[in-house]
Amino acid sequence: MNENVVLKPGEARCDAESYQDILDQDTREVPWALRQEAAPFLGDEPLSVERFIDPDFFKLEVQKMWPRVWQMACREEDIPEVGDYTVYENVGMSFLVARTAPDKIQAFYNSCLHRGRKLKTQEGCANQFRCPFHGLTWNLDGTFKENPTAWDFPHMTKENSKLPEARTGTWGGFVFINPNKDAPDLETVLGPLVKHFERWRLEDCYKFVHVGKVVPANWKITSEAFMESFHTVDTHPQIMPFLACANSQYDVFSDYITRQISANAIPSPHLDASKITQQEILDEMTGGAGRRGGAEAGLQVPDGMTARAFMAEVSRQAYNAEDGNDYSDKSDAEMLDAILYNCFPNISVWGGFLPNIVYRWRPNGMDVDSALMEVIWLKRCPKDGPRPQPVPFHMLGEDEPWTAAEELGGLAEVFEQDMANLPFVQDGMKASGTGVVNLGNYQEMRVRQHHIMLDRYINGEL
């Protein structure tokens, strides 16, 4: 970097090759979405720790933000047949998300209109919703069907006793709900995400991993641990030989959509790349610590080829053999890199053609000090043959580590390292001597955007 150049706040970058420089070396044409950059300076004011630890601030989120935002409730494949339903819950809200016709999904408030009992407590399939308390029953489409003692309820008519609904929308095979009738439509909120993912078509994927665990930290502390990559140097040192962390790219594309990208098969700028051979990069990458889980251990990088180009080609051939889809024109970046998009407030979806990771974070009930984190993993459906069934949800117990979820492979260790920080972040904020936390201008602008949007909801702007 030229020391004579005076940079404005937010313009400083890691003194290493940029992600765009890495894309310039790709062996295939890089899609336009990965070439986009959007890095506004969002300010450098500290954030109050009260945002993460104060029960009163948490109450404001519950009252003014959560009932007004789009939230991913399930995958369409979770409710494939008419009558299939699942229960989505968050901060005291409960919804029955049901397929009520072959091409229609509805979300009903999960509460009997008689005495308020939840109509359902777990997923299933039904042709009606009958309250287990007194037997009042609703049709699958939410219309009132019957009351066993209707003679005593002349005031409960079919016209005034339909189950209240939340709005629903679908994108990429996901089902979203929003309790707010006046919110912008889902496509408007997703905005750039829709265009960027046209090439990656998550609607053609199926769920082969779904693991969750309660984390002893506020939901924002938990989610924001996955909004930057520079914690790798101290939290995940084992992946530094093959992950370009400090020179990751960060973008804020809209109010709701942000992104970070970290190149794979490229050493961290914190290491001396001249002392790491291409074979060593490959060995570390396939040894179990990354998303690949060690399946390709023992491979040899051909002379004159980089580990990145070689591993991308190995991936193209492996995925083609597995699902029959053609990956021959897909870029190295799409076959290897960590491409994380976030949609405010609580979902992250990975782009590219590797098995796509999806994160979802929610408060753990009404507890300001804990959160529910879920990891969903998607694979592309076979080109020929039936669509695989989605896996059931695997909820880890309080004392079970992420490594108890064998289906996560080498990533379980990475998650466990992340989780080792979070309780101490929660406790450390309570012990703060200043009452604030400070953010980086570039590497943590996604975190800052998260709080900008949260403030807009709490202040009644949205």
- pLDDT tens digits along 246-269: 999 999 999 999 999 999 999 999
* Predicted confidence (pLDDT) per residue in 28-65, tens digit: 999 999 999 999 999 999 999 999 999 999 999 999 99
Separation between Cα atoms, residue 19 and residue 260, nearest integer Å:
10
Separation between Cα atoms, residue 191 and residue 447, nearest integer Å:
19
Q: Nearest-CA neighbor of 359 among 382, 370, 343, 337?
A: 343
Q: How confident is the model at residue 294 (pLDDT cuts 50, 70, 90)?
A: very low
pLDDT at 291: 46
CB 390 within 8 A of CB 175: no
pLDDT at 200: 98
- pLDDT of residue 393 exceeding 50, the answer is yes
Instruction: Tell me if the domain spanning 71-182 has CATH number 3.90.550.10.
Output: no
pLDDT at 287: 81
- pLDDT of residue 298 exceeding 90, the answer is no
Instruction: Tell me if the domain spanning 19-49+193-458 has CATH number 3.90.1150.10.
Output: no
Mean pLDDT of 148-168: 97
DSSP 8-state code for residue 165: E
Mean pLDDT of 180-204: 97
Cis peptide before 80 (omega within 30 of 0): no
Q: How confident is the model at residue 82 (pLDDT cuts 50, 70, 90)?
A: very high
Give Cα 455 to chain centroid, integer Å: 21
- pLDDT of residue 297 exceeding 80, the answer is no
Phi, psi of 151 (to 5 degrees): -60, -25
- pLDDT of residue 113 exceeding 50, the answer is yes
Kindly report the number of other CB atoms within 10 A of residue 234's CB atom.
Answer: 10
* Rg, the chain, Cα only: 24
Kindly report the pTM of this predicted structure.
0.95
pLDDT at 257: 98
pLDDT at 304: 95
Mean pLDDT of the chain: 96
DSSP 8-state code for residue 94: E
- The edge-to-edge listing of strands for the beta sheet with 104-109 is 71-75, 174-178, 165-171, 104-109, 93-101, 84-90, 124-125
Mean pLDDT of 440-448: 98
- pLDDT of residue 295 exceeding 90, the answer is no
Tokens of 66: 């959560």
Tokens of 180: 């707010």
CB 38 within 8 A of CB 425: no
Mean pLDDT of 234-253: 97
Mean pLDDT of 157-182: 98
Q: Indicate the burial class of 228 (C-beta count within 10 angstroms; 0-12, 13-18, 19 or more).
A: buried
* Predicted confidence (pLDDT) per residue in 307-345, tens digit: 999 999 999 999 999 999 999 999 999 999 999 999 999
Kindly report the number of other CB atoms within 10 A of residue 5's CB atom.
Answer: 7
Q: Nearest-CA neighbor of 248 among 185, 338, 363, 134?
A: 338
* Amino acid of residue 177: I
Mean pLDDT of 439-455: 98
Domain boundaries, the chain: 19-49+193-458, 71-182
Side-chain-facing half-sphere of 382: CA atoms under 13 Å: 8
The residues, ordered by sequence, that sit 6+ positions from 21 with a Cβ below 8 Å of its Cβ are: none
- Chain position carrying tokens 């994160």: 359
pLDDT at 2: 57
* Predicted confidence (pLDDT) per residue in 345-363, tens digit: 999 999 999 999 999 999 9
pLDDT at 292: 46
Mean pLDDT of 441-460: 98
